[in-house]
Amino acid sequence: MKISFPRMGYSYIAFKWLVENIGHECIVPPEPSERTLDLGVRYSPEFACIPYKILTGTYLEVADMGAEVVLTSGGIGPCRAGYYWIMHQQMLDELGIDLKIIAFEPPLNNISDFWQKLKLVWKSGGLSYREFIRVMKVAWEKLKAIDDLEQLSFKVRPYEIHRGETSRTLWKGLDFLDEANSIPEIKEARSEGLKLLNSMPQDKTRDPLKVGIIGEIYVVLEPSANHYIQIMLGEAGVEVDRSMYLSGYCGRREMHRPNEEIFAMARPYLNEAPIGGHGTNSIGETVLYAKNGFDGVIQLAPFACIPEIVAKSIIPRVSREQDIPVLTFFIDEQTGKAGVQTRIEAFVDLLEKRRERKRKEQGRLRAC
């Protein structure tokens, strides 16, 4: 089978390896571009959110490239994303496009559905169960390594001397990972990539601001969906901490605190949890960032995303009481980046002035 999947950051490297090693042909989804968006907007309901529209465009693009099957995730709970794959399938059927969407729901929700879909993908590739499990483990290792490299790039970028060097070095590291075919090879590629990033020329005299990124998972993880905001921030001299990585979302402890812990942080402000999507997380993560001494928080939300709208209307109080500035970006189909750039520059100005004043006050206290 020719299999594709939605693009979400650099995770495609791991998924490509997985699809190929199960025994299928992989159609790598192109990075969402203006063409993706044009297609997506044309064939999506007007009120659908930007992740839906980008996926619509991606599905049409990969169908054009010959994909027969798309693997994606479903979802339970009050966010409408759980129904997106059904809507997408209907749209494809109506357009007469022969592309089947297989959506994996959380396994514990309906184990037999999960198992059947999994079997369909794995059996048709011709692997034994034991081999299949091995391949899954390697792909998981790859996914984790990809996230490790990206996470380090956020720490290094504000110190880079030549603009863009961090991005170029990260891409080199990801190329190593792309070529690795076993767990030992991945481990080697990972440490090689980390070493490259760490040994980049850096100006350690700088004193970067620290900003946390919260919000809806798709627009947080896919750089082209958020105007490459995390790179833009890094190049503006800000150390970015992202509250979410795909491996963390899939249960990796060191990348993600358990939801219960985050919900507990949110509870003084919002008793209901979860409220769908990452709404409650956005509130809890803001509290955590404040407690961990971050200078500010940026919320990324698709326009009309209910969970993030709920979070946004609660965040002003969190921001006041926890004493941490929060800037929200609602993301829609506009591609103009000037507005984003202006807000970021103003936000960085604000955070710098604030930090300066705080340090002065602390200095005065110490002097007494």
Partner 1 sequence: MLKGYLGLDVGSVSTNVVVIDQEGNLLFSRYLRTDGKPIQTVQRAVQLAGEELEGKVTIAGAGTTGSARYLSSMVVGADIVKNEITAHAVAALNVNPDVQTIIEIGGQDSKIIILRDGVVIDFAMNTVCAAGTGSFLDQQAARLRIPIEEFGGIALKSDNPVRIAGRCAVFAESDMIHKQQLGHNTEDIVAGLCEALVRNYLNNVGKGKELLAPILFQGGVAANQGLVKAFEKYLDHPMIVPTHFEVMGAIGAALLASEAVKRKSGTLFKGFEVKDITFKTTSFECKGCPNCCEVVQFSENGSVVARWGDRCGKWEIQAS
67, 71, 77, 80: CA torsion to nearest 10: -10
Q: Is 316 in the site for partner 1 (CB under 8 A)?
A: yes
- Smallest distance from partner 1 to CB 307, Å: 17
Piece of the chain touching partner 1 by CB under 8 A; list 64-72, 159-167, 201-209, 214-222:
159-167
Q: Is 212 helix (H, G, I), strand (E, B) or coil?
A: strand
Exactly one of 165, 185, 188, 192 binds partner 1 (CB under 8 A); that residue is 165
Of the candidate spans 39-47, 177-185, 273-281, 314-322, the one that interacts with partner 1 by CB under 8 A turns out to be: 314-322
CB 110 within 8 A of CB 140: no
CA angle 125, 126, 129 (to 5 degrees): 105
Nearer to partner 1, 334 or 362 (CB): 334
Residue (of 259, 247, 251, 253) closest to 283 by Cα position? 259
- Asked if 239 and 208 touch (Cβ cutoff 8 Å), the reply is yes
Range 238-297, binding partner 1 (CB under 8 A): none
* 66 in contact with partner 1 (CB under 8 A): no
Among residues 167, 191, 202, 259, the one that binds partner 1 under rule CB under 8 A:
167
CB-CB contact of 166 with 160 (8 Å): yes
End-to-end CA distance of the chain: 73
Report if residue 161 touches partner 1, rule: CB under 8 A: no
Q: How far is CA 281 from the centre of its chain?
A: 14
Say how many C-beta atoms besides its own lie within 10 A of residue 269's C-beta. Answer: 18
Nearest CB to partner 1, comparing residues 42 and 358: 358
Q: Which is nearer to partner 1, 107 or 164 (CB)?
A: 164
Looking up tokens 């989804």, which residue turns up? Answer: 29
Interface with partner 1 includes 325 (CB under 8 A)? yes
Alpha helices (runs of H) in the chain, residue ranges in sequence order: 12-22, 34-43, 50-64, 84-94, 111-123, 129-156, 165-179, 183-198, 217-221, 229-235, 246-249, 259-266, 279-291, 306-322, 338-367
Nearest to 242 by CA among 17, 4, 5, 10: 10
Smallest distance, partner 1 to C-beta of residue 246, A: 21
- Distance between CA atoms of 280 and 263, rounded to whole angstroms? 6
The span of 87-95, 135-143, 147-155, 309-317 binding partner 1 (CB under 8 A) equals: 309-317
Q: Give yes or no for residue 313 binding partner 1 (CB under 8 A).
A: yes
Query: Any contact of residue 329 with partner 1 (CB under 8 A)?
Result: yes
The minimum distance between CB 109 and partner 1, in angstroms, equals: 34
Candidates 14, 213, 229, 231: give the one binding partner 1 (CB under 8 A): 231
| Residue 64 engages partner 1 in binding (rule: CB under 8 A) | no
178: contact with partner 1 by CB under 8 A: no
Report the DSSP beta bridge partners of residue 71.
Answer: 102
Q: Does 175 bind partner 1 (CB under 8 A)?
A: no
User: Please, which residue, 140 or 347, has the CB nearer to partner 1?
Assistant: 347
Binding status of residue 45 toward partner 1 by CB under 8 A: no
Distance CA 93, CA 101 (A): 11
366 burial type by CB count under 10 A (0-12 exposed, 13-18 middle, 19+ buried): exposed
d(CA 235, CA 345): 11
How far apart are CB 290 and partner 1 at their closest, in Å?
15
Binding residue count for partner 1, defined by CB under 8 A: 35
CA 11 to CA 144: how far, in whole Å?
Answer: 9
Q: Scan residues 333-362 and list those touching partner 1 (CB under 8 A).
A: 334, 338-339, 341-343, 345-347, 349-350, 353-354, 357
Binding track, positions 199-228, relative to partner 1; x by CB under 8 A: -----------------------------x
330 scored as a contact of partner 1 (CB under 8 A): yes
Binding site for partner 1 (CB under 8 A): 30-31, 162-165, 167-168, 171, 228, 231, 303, 312-313, 315-316, 319, 325, 329-330, 332, 334, 338-339, 341-343, 345-347, 349-350, 353-354, 357
